Amino acid sequence: GQNIDQPTEMTATEGAIVQINCTYQTSGFNGLFWYQQHAGEAPTFLSYNVLDGLEEKGRFSSFLSRSKGYSYLLLKELQMKDSASYLCAVRNSGNTPLVFGKGTRLSVIA
Amino acid sequence: GAVVSQHPSWVICKSGTSVKIECRSLDFQATTMFWYRQFPKQSLMLMATSNEGSKATYEQGVEKDKFLINHASLTLSTLTVTSAHPEDSSFYICSARGALGNTIYFGEGSWLTVV
For residue A52, which phi and psi values (nearest 5 degrees)?
-65, 145
Of B44, B91, B105, the CB nearest to A100: B44
> Which residue would you say has higher pLDDT here, B27 or A46?
A46
pLDDT surpasses 60 at B81: yes
B6/A42 touch (CB, cutoff 8 Å), yes or no: yes
- Select from B31, B34, B43, B102 the residue whose CB has the most chain A CBs within 10 Å, as the one to mutate to test that interface: B43
Average predicted confidence (pLDDT) for chain B: 90
pLDDT surpasses 90 at B86: yes
Task: Check residue B98 and give its pLDDT.
Answer: 66
Task: Check residue A27 and give its pLDDT.
Answer: 81
| Cβ within 8 Å of residue B82, ≥6 positions away | B18, B65, B66, B67, B68
- Please answer whether residues A10 and A106 qualify as being in contact, where contact means their C-beta atoms are separated by less than 8 angstroms: yes
The candidate with the shortest Cα–Cα distance to B47, out of B39, B57, B12, is B57
Q: Digits of tens for pLDDT over chain A (110 positions)?
A: 678 999 999 999 999 999 999 999 988 888 999 999 998 888 998 999 999 999 999 999 999 999 999 999 999 999 999 999 999 999 887 777 888 999 999 999 99
Angle of CA points B57, B62, B64, to nearest 5°: 60
Task: Check residue A18 and give its pLDDT.
Answer: 98
Comparing alpha-carbon positions, the chain A residue that sits nearest to B94 is A42
